[in-house]
Amino acid sequence: MIKIKLLLIYQREGWLSCFKPSILHHHNGHYSGNSSETLEKCLNKATTKKFLQSKNIKVPQGFATKKPLLKPPKGLDYPLFIKPCCEDGSLGIDCDSLVESEGELISKIEAKLLNHPAGIIVEEFIPGKEFNVGFLGNTNYEVLSVSYLDYSKHMGMGIHPFLSYSAKWDSDSLEFGINFKELPTSERDLREKIIGIGYKCGAALGCKGYFRVDIRERNGELYVLDVNPNPDINIDSGFVRQGKAAGYSYIDLLKKIIDLAIEESAERSRYYEAQCLGVH
């Protein structure tokens, strides 16, 4: 008789996605990608920032708030960037996310809290080039590729150089269709720095299966904007594009993610069996 165990391969759905792995984990089931702990930690961007700072990983300076402000903290350089603290997929990031003054910051925080009451994160806007680096693996990560976002076609159109919700998902928007380009081989030193930072983020946060790290540059320094465990893997997604750059077809990429899930489940089973037998 052949026994087939259920494998759940899923996409992130906000807080709901954090609970699915824990249920399967409890029943020794397979699931793709990252654990509940990693998903929950990364979904709360304020928690992620503090944790990365504790590991000496540079992030933009800023603060988080769950209520409107009468007087924002001092010491931050404008322009500032505001986004929901506990959303993914660029939800809540739009043309009002970039603010140039204290008065504008106060009013826009209040407005965004109406739709995102879990909190708003405010940070210095990092104006340089924006990079993505994708990884596969449970411990020894495989780098897929390093790419950068090319906003040049939007110059002169009054569109801000950052990836908004519309730029990702609204095909009718002027912002839609940001070009992603592979970092040239001539930028070897920069590529290795980006990979090193991404690898460090993944290891620190316990990322497994697949994840992406978003980074921007300012005055030669690299700052982590976000760590994305279980990024979007639809056929047109950036992560799949990075997989293709590394030689994976779409089917091969999905198969790799499934294989990693099965490997991780087997490793958990061995660990628990050893604990039960008193083997350390």
pLDDT in tens, 49-91: 999 999 999 999 999 999 999 898 999 999 999 999 988 888 8
Q: Token pair of 83, please?
A: 């986004």
Residue of higher predicted confidence among 151 and 193 = 193
Domains 13-59+126-277 and 61-125 share a fold: no
pLDDT band at 23 (very low <50, low <70, confident <90, very high): low
Q: How does residue 27 score in pLDDT terms, banded at 50, 70 and 90? A: low
Percent with pLDDT over 70 in the chain = 83
- Averaged pLDDT score across all residues of the chain: 86
Which one has a higher pLDDT value, 89 or 191?
191
Burial 7-17 (b: 16+ CB within 10 A, else e): eeeeebeeeeb
Cβ–Cβ < 8 Å for 216, 193: no
The answer, yes or no, to whether residue 103 has pLDDT greater than 70, is: yes
Q: What's the per-residue H, E or C state across the chain?
A: CCCCCCEECCCCECHHHHHHHHHHHHCCCEECCCCHHHHHHHHCHHHHHHHHHHCCCCCCCEEEECCCCCCCCCCCCCCEEEEECCCCCCCCCCHHHEECCHHHHHHHHHHHHHHCCCCEEEEECCCCCEEEEEEEECCCCEEEEEEEEECHHHCCCCCCCCCCHHHHHCCCCCCCCCEEEECCHHHHHHHHHHHHHHHHHHHHHCCCEEEEEEEEEECCEEEEEEEEECCCCCCCCHHHHHHHHCCCCHHHHHHHHHHHHHHHHHHHHHHHHHHHHCCC
Between the alpha carbon of residue 252 and those of residues 45, 147, 152, 240, the distances in Å are 31, 21, 33, 10
User: Is 90 exceeded by the pLDDT of residue 254?
Assistant: yes
Confidence at residue 14, expressed as pLDDT on a 0 to 100 scale:
53
Q: How many CA atoms lie within 13 A of 274 on its CB side?
A: 8
Asked if 231 and 33 count as a contact pair (C-beta separation under 8 A), the reply is no
C-alpha–C-alpha distance, residues 222 and 252, integer Å: 32
pLDDT higher than 70, residue 19: no
pLDDT of residue 10: 47
| pLDDT over 90 at 30, yes or no | no
* pLDDT at residue number 157: 72
pLDDT at 162 over 70: yes
Going by C-alpha positions, the residue among 36, 33, 96, 95 that lies closest to residue 254 is: 33
Give the whole-angstrom CA distance, residue 178 versus residue 166: 10
Question: Is 0.85 surpassed by the pTM of this model?
Answer: yes
pLDDT (average), residues 129-140: 95
C-alpha span between 256 and 248 (Å, rounded): 9
Name, in order, each residue with C-beta under 8 angstroms of 128's C-beta and a sequence gap of 6 or more. Answer: 216, 217, 218, 219
Q: For 86-108, what is the mean pLDDT?
A: 91
The class that CATH gives domain 13-59+126-277 is alpha beta
- Is residue 8 scored above 70 in pLDDT? no
What are the φ and ψ backbone dihedral angles of 137, each rounded to 5 degrees? 130, 160
Amino acid 17: pLDDT: 61
CATH 3.40.630 fits 61-125, yes or no: no
Q: Give me the mean pLDDT over the 200-216 stretch.
A: 97
Report for 121-125, 172-176, 235-239: range of highest mean pLDDT: 121-125
What are the boundaries of each domain within the chain? 13-59+126-277, 61-125
Q: What is the pLDDT of residue 87?
A: 86
Is pLDDT of 232 > 80?
Answer: yes
For residues 129-147, give the mean pLDDT.
Answer: 96
Sign of the alpha-carbon torsion through 262, 266, 197, 226: positive
